[in-house]
Structure 1
């Protein structure tokens, strides 16, 4: 294998940040190479989200020095393997730079030990960034849209790479070569022997991509999904709709519809997205809340995990029992906040169709679910579209959207009127003015006051006191 730089078949596009980084490192004269996905994306002319750097030695020391220069943050990922991550805050995002010591003695050893040839290219930050280091012919595989493991043991050594292969095959519209696919199938069962956090992170990336339903279909077909979320294996025995073959088909269709709803809400919406009948009606009915919905789905969870992925996970488990859904959240090592949101959204979607449009019913729903109710509304729409599938009727879909519109109006427009009216009295007020003792009775009386406000029966402090006295 040669690591001699050469001109690629198409120019590499580097961001200003990387060009500035090169200027900095030229002053250090410390050998350093950009490797992995950043090189692949530079060849594809994609925006570079994260940067992997490989150095011959003392990667952690290198990272600390870089942290000081860039006024960034650092996390030591693996002291034994000499790996660190640097977070660089930019105008509207945070850039991750992972710095690692060579996997082996040389750069060639490092690249040969990576996952797939398309991710085993490098560029010399002390040399010409227009040139490519490509000992495994990753450029050819990238041009031909092929996913090929770097060596016969790539998947065996790290079964989590199988998830990545599926994700990148869908994201790049690439074919997984037979020997690589065979290795993924063979070692799928070993994924449980790897770090649950690494499995979670790769799986979340898959859920957060475009066409997650396609990736999940492949993940299930190659035998990986049953080792990541074994609770999904029983979905094929369910028949939630006369219009889908089984629960698994319905789940994939629900996720497809949910992703379509996400795109309809998102800034990435195109005219062709809204031209689809069911999504076009969402534009008409719910665009008044689009800005608020965009803010909601743009939320980032721990370690920058996108809310979009959690929403798709909700779609994946929405037919499971509460116990199974809880087990999924636990096995994926979700944060407590993520787990709470996931469980509430899959509960909320079931309540959405049965929630009345009167003020008190809306009050109960939103007090119970808070912002997870928004996810419940989105998931309920996706469920309905999957349930009806091609048999959807315009009038029925319009009624569903009118119902969702009323529910979202209560949350986004009439929040202080219906969900959380300004308190007329506090618990201390009740104790001081009515001589009550602290306890459960206080909470019940405050709820009584709040619900009377929602119904428009009271509006002043005197009204509230009079109401309380009638219940003592």
Structure 2
């Protein structure tokens, strides 16, 4: 953390992004007392840049939020009317900025801060007039300097068990070590996670999976105790589950993709969201956590998806990505032929790329791992560089044309002929319509129809 005064760090943080300067200028002009709090103060002191501002006001957060939205030409949202929580969303170019506003949770700001989750989130800076003195009733600044994660008060986890999972993420994200007393409190309270809504568990888990080193965060004893409760898996199924995630993260972050013709396309694939706010990269890590379930992994992952209220598309993707590992091409001694790759993607679709990435979990472990890595590269490359010729060959003939040409009756046999034609295209046996007609004629003469 930069060894500068809190005011200098905050000023530099505000100046680094025009949106922050503009938003804070409007907040400073408010009649009621307004404070920059929590993650915003923490990130400013760490020199970390994000798109969010966290604000507390002694007045009405709803009223302040509406005025701020008008001033910034943004959108206003009521997040929790009962507890006076609102959000302002401002779009500037491709970026979306959030200002989260809340009324005081206590009679005064110090009481509000003391009721927060961790000391490093329990700091505030008054925004009127100018930047005031740092308010730090629980010693968060010192903990931040010492890289310590400490609960703001003894009942922090009892009052909201989800804070335990949040602590796992924060320790991993900021390189913090758990204070022994805080770790003991978390472990003593962890069973209370059974009573938390699946949606809240899901959101906190996916925040962890978004970290570049999620495996390191989850390997802490607190993380390992939370995982079975979040995923509803037997702890035995999770033994060694973090090693595949770690190897996967190393592969995705390393130089293994540098120079690959599909490197940029693969990054786009991993960043794609299958549901709002959840990237395919996070789903891939979630799938890897199920590898210890063996043959039951696809089914278990789909059950996890239902439990965590993931979308249907996400659940199917998880199941197919793990199902892809059972394809015969992974067990074959020789390198996969084009037809094998076509059939692989025919079975699992776009999830086949995730399946190939999961296959890297055994890499690099000797000659077998090296062979699997080469195979994974070949299969991934096919999706991004040969999609129209090998993975999904462009149709040369239609079913109606086949019916008319050969006087056949519409039905399953037409589908079988079309599939046989696609396989012939993938195998390089058929290249144009003339060859397609000739190929089908021979099949029909042999009695395939």
Whether the TM-score (by the shorter chain) exceeds 0.5 is yes
2:345 corresponding residue in structure 1: 366
2:79 corresponding residue in structure 1: 77
- 2:307 aligned to 299, 319, 331, which one? 331
State the secondary structure of the residue aligned to 1:224. Answer: helix
1:256 corresponding residue in structure 2: 246
2:330 corresponding residue in structure 1: 353
Q: Does 1:290 align with 2:269?
A: no
- 1:456 aligned to 405, 420, 428, which one? 428
Tell me, yes or no, if the aligned pair for 1:350 and 1:380 is still in contact at 8 Å.
no
For each residue in 1:254-287, what CA deviation from the matched residue of structure 2 results, as whole angstroms up to 9, or x when unmatched?
A: 11111101112xxxxxxxxx4xxxxxxx357x63
**What is the correspondence of 1:392-431 to structure 2 with a 5 Å cutoff?**
392-393=366-367, 396-431=368-403
State the secondary structure of the residue aligned to 2:261. Answer: helix
- Which segments of 5 or more consecutive residues in structure 2 lack a partner in the other structure? none
- 2:177 aligned to 170, 175, 178, which one? 175
- Which segments of 5 or more consecutive residues in structure 1 lack a partner in the other structure? 1-6, 236-246, 265-273, 275-281
Q: Report the Cα distance in structure 2 between the residues aligned to 1:102 and 1:440, rounded to whole angstroms.
A: 67
**What is the correspondence of 1:48-447 to structure 2 with a 5 Å cutoff?**
48-129=50-131, 131-219=133-221, 223-235=225-237, 248-249=239-240, 251-264=241-254, 274=255, 282-283=256-257, 287-320=260-293, 321=296, 322-351=298-327, 353-354=330-331, 357-385=336-364, 388=365, 392-393=366-367, 396-434=368-406, 436-447=408-419
For each residue in 1:191-224, what CA deviation from the matched residue of structure 2 results, as whole angstroms up to 9, or x when unmatched?
A: 1212221111111111221322222121556632
Tell me, yes or no, if the aligned pair for 2:36 and 2:127 is still in contact at 8 Å.
yes
For each residue in 1:165-184, what CA deviation from the matched residue of structure 2 results, as whole angstroms up to 9, or x when unmatched?
A: 12222322222223322221
Residue 441 of structure 1 deviates from its aligned partner by: 3.2
For each residue in 1:119-155, what CA deviation from the matched residue of structure 2 results, as whole angstroms up to 9, or x when unmatched?
A: 0111233332374222222111111222221222111
Name the Cα RMSD after superposition.
2.6
State the secondary structure of the residue aligned to 1:319. Answer: helix
Q: Which has the higher contact order (CA 8 A, sep 6+)?
A: 1
State the secondary structure of the residue aligned to 1:287. Answer: coil
Deviates more, 1:347-356 or 1:288-297: 347-356
Tell me, yes or no, if the aligned pair for 1:314 and 1:342 is still in contact at 8 Å.
yes
Residue 335 of structure 1 deviates from its aligned partner by: 1.9
Tell me, yes or no, if the aligned pair for 1:192 and 1:227 is still in contact at 8 Å.
yes
Residue 107 of structure 1 deviates from its aligned partner by: 2.1
Relative distance call for 1:51 and 1:460 in structure 2 (3 A) is same
Deviates more, 1:332-341 or 1:7-16: 7-16
